[in-house]
Amino acid sequence: MDHAAEIINISHVTHSYVMRDEQGNIEEETIALDDVSLAIKEGEFLAVLGSNGSGKSTLARHLNALLLPDDGSVLVDGMDTGDNEKIIEIRRRAGMVFQNPDNQIIGRVVEEDVAFGPENLGLPPEKIRQRVDEALTKLGMQKKRAYSPGKLSGGQKQRVSIAGILAMRPKILILDEPTAMLDPRGRREVLSAAMSLNKDEGITVILITHDMDEAAMADRIVVMDKGRVAMEGTPSEVFRESDKLRAYGLDIPFPAQIAAELKEMGLDIGTVPVTTEELAEALGLKKQSKQSTNTAEHIAEQPV
């Protein structure tokens, strides 16, 4: 990962939301991003974590030119989002999925929705069919291709949204709180799909979330607070700083909480586990054992 090429460069970006009165005078100005600089590597799975109002979703919208900086610059695969001639290509390479799939699905049936992007690229029909087939297969939605989106679960709808982006052959997938409206099963479906696209297809994934367990799946975490990058590091490095996270209105995953409690009781397990499997392994339980995993999950469910 350290030697991977840089695919996104955010340099000293500032962005404000301005409210004006009827005469056009500024009534209120809210600074959403305050001198943010960040580099994202090709093939990385990055989680951008933060409480409501931290600036994480505003940052996400700068990554495919839905918003433009007031100051600073954003380069996506070497292209400046401020260059009007590059915006279409930037959005093709950096696809974005929002938290409500109903706002993104426009087709009457699943395959029609997934075909929308490739059709807009002007591809011939045989190429469109190929891309639709590939995208639906990779997202596990091939058997639902003739379904009306209204008959799908929330997780299935979100996978269709991702398939529609995937059919455009993006290099970057930006997920802006994609599981916020989903039940636990839907969350697992979407996160599993995102991880598969990252690991198997090499797509750079940027997950915007306030959920600690989701962030734990990433290669690297960036914590936003009051429009600034407040913390940055691997999940273990970030979750080790539990006091700082709480000051930013965040918590740490249950396994990390358990480890912190054990350390206070005099049992230092020497690591900061971020999943139940890591907790089981740190406690000396066999990772392959179903009983061990169940024990770790039981421990994680206890109040701390």
Question: Mean pLDDT, to the nearest integer, of 226-230?
Answer: 97
Question: Mean pLDDT, to the nearest integer, of 212-229?
Answer: 95
Which residue is it, tokens 């069919």? 129
Domain range list for the chain: 6-102+170-247, 253-304
Q: Are 117 and 164 in contact (CB under 8 A)?
A: yes
* pLDDT, position 2: 55
Q: Are 281 and 268 in contact (CB under 8 A)?
A: no
pLDDT digits (tens, 9 = 90+) for 242-273: 889 999 999 888 888 887 788 888 887 777 78
Dihedral (C-alpha) 100, 105, 106, 107: value to the nearest 10 degrees? Answer: -150
Which residue is it, tokens 């610059």? 73
Question: Mean pLDDT, to the nearest integer, of 77-103?
Answer: 94
H/E segment holding residue 130: helix 125-138
Structure tokens at 126: 């045989």
Dist CA 86 CA 89 (whole Å): 5
Order across the sheet with 204-209: list the strands: 94-97, 172-176, 204-209, 45-49, 220-225, 228-233
Dist CA 141 CA 253 (whole Å): 31
Q: Are 82 and 21 in contact (CB under 8 A)?
A: no
* pLDDT, position 287: 46
Given a cut of 60, is residue 289 above it in pLDDT? Answer: no
Distances (CA, A) of 304 to 241, 260, 262, 285: 17, 9, 10, 21
pTM score, two decimals? 0.85
Structure tokens at 268: 């230092």
* pLDDT, position 274: 79
Given a cut of 60, is residue 209 above it in pLDDT? Answer: yes
3 state SS of 103: helix
Question: Mean pLDDT, to the nearest integer, of 3-30?
Answer: 87
* pLDDT, position 3: 62
What is the CA angle 60-218-163, rounded to 5? Answer: 60
pLDDT digits (tens, 9 = 90+) for 141-199: 999 999 999 999 999 999 999 999 999 999 999 999 999 888 888 888 999 999 999 99
| % of the chain beyond a pLDDT of 90 | 66
The percent helix, strand, coil of the chain (3-state, each to 5) is 40, 25, 35
CATH fold for the domain made of 6-102+170-247:
Rossmann fold (3.40.50)
Contacts of 202 (CB under 8 A, 6+ apart): 42, 43
